[in-house]
Structure 1
Amino acid sequence: MAYQLLTTHQFDVTIFTPQSADEVRTGRIRSTQVHFSSTIARERLYRMPTWPNAQELTSVHVSVGGETFFAGSLDKPAYSIDQRLYFSECMADLQRQGVHFVYAKVSSEQLSGMVESFDLVVDCTGRSGPVAPFPLDSSMPKIATPLRKCSVGYFLGVENAKPVGILAHILPGEGELFEIPALTEVGPVTILFVEAVPGGQLDVFHRAHHAQDFCSIMLDITESFFPEIRNRLTREQFSLCDDHAYLRVAVRSEVHIPYCEVNGRFVVGCGDSVVLNDPITGQGDNTASYLTEQLFCALLDDASREWDETTFQSYWEKSKPYVNHVVSWSHAMLRPLPEHILGMIMEGRTNQAVADRIANWFRTPSSAYNDFFYKDEIHENGGHEQ
């Protein structure tokens, strides 16, 4: 959002954050981020830092029960950058461009005072938020309790599968393991991300009390359930890339109406603070990128007058169909897959066009929504670029 506002030369931007760039860079990993082509295009449009050393991800591999089914080709490459590196580089770059940083955590009480000091406050506090009292959107799909326990580590010693891309290993009834080549401060790594059905055989990372425990448990899981990974893993080199390179979390999906009044002034939200979704479909960063662009466009459309409720209603009305597609598809992926989707996956073994179509669900989530929920319709283009 800050980069978008800077391009207009009309706004002074202040960012409140509890951590400095150095603290972000050396802290705990934050996610399993993959930036698909639409997000990358926005990064280039708004002149964000580029990543020439990042490995291009050109495919999505799918295996079921330890058997590799297919590798579908992405229409356009993706990449994954450790958010510690990504955010810290962006913070330093924004400072050079004149953005003011205040290193403090904002409370709901402080928010009441902030709205008097700025023309607009944007709540981007992430999955720990929101700070603003945004109401839940009762029309959006809901999940009462987390359907997966998420455990992720950034590892050395894992050889990439070919063609290089994202690997989705599905273990029916137990969960999933995703492999994602990524760039970090120390160079290339492989993200191993387990989505475990609570109480199942993959739900064992609660035993990890430190980095070495986490590494040992991940090694055991690959040996027991994912032999295709184990065959590309060098035991002597297999380790976390640093002691902070692992994370455990369980996400309860929530969608908020992303604007409200605080002391008579509007506060607006973006990203995980208002659209919190299980990471099974890899859409967190991409949804946040989409939302910021919709908000930016709404602000510019009304730049000649005072921003009011109609401005933020327009932002949400334009964003909501896309959000619904992402959330509905993600919820469907957390449950037993529909028969017609299982049929598509089986067909992908012998039909490269179907394999490619499945791969591009992740690039264009509206195409996934169409395939999951409109099985009787033929979508020749597999959805639209967002």
Structure 2
Amino acid sequence: MRKILVVGAGQSGLQIALGLQSHGYEVTLMSNRTADEIRSGRVMSTQCMFHTALRHERDLQLNFWESQAPKIEGLGVSVAAPGSWGEGPAARAIDWLGHLDGFAQSVDQRVKMAGWMETFAQRGGQLVIHGAAVGDLDYFSRTYDLVLVSAGKGELVQMFGRDPERSPYSQPQRALAVSYVHGLGPRPEHPDTEAVRCNLVPGVGELFVMPTLTTSGRADILFWEGIPGGPLDVFDGVKDPAEHLSLTLGLMEKYVPWEYARATEVELTDAGGVLSGRYAPTVRNPIGRLPGGGLVLGVADVVVANDPITGQGSNSASKCAAAYLGSILEHGDKEFDEAWMRSTFDRYWDTAQHVTKWTNAMLAPPPEHILGLIGAAGQLPQVADRFANGFNDPADFENYFYEPEKTQAYLAEISGT
């Protein structure tokens, strides 16, 4: 029986651990918090998982909350008219809703990670509650066939060197602020459609609104992404959750009043329902070298950390877990050497590179042809639907999004001109 250590109990680490466990591997999972501590702690993310990522969970029969979480059937885009917020309420220059081919869902990671961790232990997995340091891994690498590092913060990440060719940004490109709320009303234009709403405020930032399942039931996530140094970059140092929500709503009233109009009665789901911070999008070398000579393999956002502007974090984590699980199972009883580690990461990078390219493009000011494409989606439902489904399969953006010639040819084809 092969022995594998997974360090970090997030989406990818737990999905891999449970997957390996179901195939008879002897798996040890290290987490710096218990399931109860996770469940009662602060929110960790703004996860919205699209069809492919949800399918990976279904394949492992880990979709425990599918019947309870809202079924997200659409993705809407609104663009504030540039400068319209200077003299009163902002106006919308663009507003449309694209329909997803397969529904998406969001489950608060406090609910999911705690539940999955308990399942892992109930199924006989070795669960170690301990924050791992490099020295710990140096010891463990000699007693396990493979060590996977999926803890995306702290000392362990420093083992994986930044890949400058794949990391165009060295500084954070957005200041992030999240609030989980009850009491958000429906969008009057589509009152019966659960949808993620992407509100773009040119030169200022973005507000994302998404339905979710949290510890207290159905809720919505209000998520600001502010350009650093701009008017949305006001959450650093805010410790009081009520002040955090008040700031969120005040900015909504000014920049996206159409969303604020349905948020006048909201309240936080709980005192841990807010989060703020920032980080630089970074791709890292996937192999970490320990002082004693052992090798460890980085997982998900340890090695590919994108800004959440495209909502890909938990999707990428699920896809990474599926790719790594496949590589481990196919490898049989052969040694997990450096060549295998590199080819395993490359298998994931085949998918992840499209996410990274798209996300980095969305962080930059949009070129004219992309503004034209987003505008055309308001008149051409096929364009809106294709853009929405790109959140599930970002590789499709290669076909019509990045190059003006491809965009123009696609729009001409759809519009019949």
- TM above 0.5, yes or no, is yes
Equivalent in the alignment of 1:208: 238
Contact 1:21 1:92 in 2 (8 A): yes
1:272-291 Cα shifts (integer Å, max 9, x gaps): 11111110001111111111
Within 2, Cα distance between the matches of 1:304 and 1:209?
A: 50
For residues 85-132 of structure 1, what are the alpha-carbon distances to aligned partners after superposition, in whole Å with 9 as ceiling and x for unaligned?
A: 110010111111111111110011211111112111110002446446
**Structure 2 counterpart of 1:64, from 79, 94, 97:** 79
Out of 4, 7, 13, which is 2:27 matched to?
A: 13
User: Which residue of 1 is the match for residue 87 of structure 2?
Assistant: none
In structure 2, the residue matched to 1:383 is none
Aligned 8 A contact 1:59 1:73 in 2: yes
CA apart distance, 1:230: 1.8
TM-score (norm 1): 0.93
Residues 1:345 and 2:371 aligned together: no
Structure 2 CA distance for aligned equivalents of residues 325 and 375 of structure 1:
18
CA contact (8 A) 2:198 2:206 kept: yes
CA contact (8 A) 2:249 2:263 kept: no
Shift of 1:365: 1.1
One-letter identity of the residue aligned with 2:204? E
Report the CA distance between 1:374 and its aligned residue: 3.8
Tell me, in whole angstroms, the C-alpha distance in 2 between the residues paired with 1:209 and 1:260.
Answer: 35
2:227 pairs, out of 188, 197, 205, with 197
What SS does the corresponding residue of 2:43 show, helix, strand or coil? coil
Distance 1:18 1:64 in 2: 41
Which range is displaced more, 323-332 or 23-32?
Answer: 323-332
SS in 2 for 1:342: helix
**Correspondence for 2:272 among 238, 244, 247:** 244
> What are the Cα deviations for residues 43-97 of structure 1, in whole angstroms up to 9, with x where unaligned?
0101214211110111111111142510001111000010001100101111111
Q: Tell me the SS of whatever aligns to 1:139.
A: helix
Aligned to 2:250: 220
The answer on whether the counterparts of 1:128 and 1:273 sit within 8 Å (CA) in structure 2 is no
- 1:305 counterpart = 2:334: yes
- The equivalent of 1:138 in structure 2 is 164
Are the structure 2 counterparts of residues 142 and 13 from structure 1 closer, same or farther at C-alpha, using a change threshold of 3 Å?
A: same
CA contact (8 A) 1:299 1:311 kept: no
Correspondence 1:92 to 2:122? no
Match of residue 279 from structure 1: 308
- 1:47, 1:87 → 2: CA distance? 15
The one-character-per-residue Cα deviations of 1:249-278 (angstroms, maximum 9, x if unpaired) are 101011112123433332111111111111
Q: How many pairs align?
A: 377
Q: CA separation in 2, counterparts of 1:261 and 1:206?
A: 35
Structure 1 match to 2:60: 46
1:240 maps to amino acid: L
For residues 375 and 320 of structure 1, do their structure 2 counterparts lie closer, same or farther at Cα, with a shift above 3 Å needed? farther
Aligned-residue offset at 1:134: 2.0
Q: Please state if 1:108 is matched with 2:137.
A: no
Match of 1:315 in 2: 344
Identity of matched residues, %: 33
Instruction: Measure the CA separation in 2 of the matches of 1:128 and 1:275.
Output: 15
Letter in 1 for 2:270: D
RMSD of the alignment, in Å? 1.7
1:121 aligned partner, one-letter code: V
- Structure 2 CA distance for partners of 1:131 and 1:168, relative to 1, 3 Å: closer
Cα shift at 1:379: 7.5
1:142 and 1:84 mapped to 2: Cα distance?
32
Provide the rounded CA distance (Å) in 2 between the counterparts of 1:54 and 1:13: 29
Q: How far did 1:344 drift?
A: 0.7
Does the aligned pair in 1 maintain the 2:283–2:303 contact within 8 Å? Answer: yes
**Long gaps (5+) in structure 1:** 381-386
Give structure 2 stretches of 5+ with no counterpart. 1-15, 81-90, 412-417
User: Within 1, Cα distance between the matches of 2:244 and 2:74?
Assistant: 28
Q: Is residue 287 of structure 2 the alignment partner of residue 259 of structure 1?
A: yes
For residues 99 and 79 of structure 1, do their structure 2 counterparts lie closer, same or farther at Cα, with a shift above 3 Å needed?
Answer: same
Counterpart amino acid of residue 312 in structure 2: Q
**Residue of structure 1 equivalent to 2:150:** 124
Identify which of 195, 206, 216 aligns with 1:165. 195
**2:153 and 2:400 mapped to 1: Cα distance?**
28
TM-aligned CA deviation for residue 223 of structure 1: 1.4
Give the conservation status (yes or no) of the 8 Å contact 2:204–2:226.
yes
4+ residue runs of structure 1 moved beyond 6 angstroms? Answer: none
> d(CA) in 2 for partners of 1:127 and 1:166?
28
- 1:116/1:256 CA distance change after superposition, 3 Å: same
C-alpha spacing 1:255/1:90, structure 2 compared with 1 (3 Å): same
> Judging changes above 3 Å, is the alpha-carbon distance between structure 1 residues 369 and 204 closer, same or farther for their aligned structure 2 residues?
farther
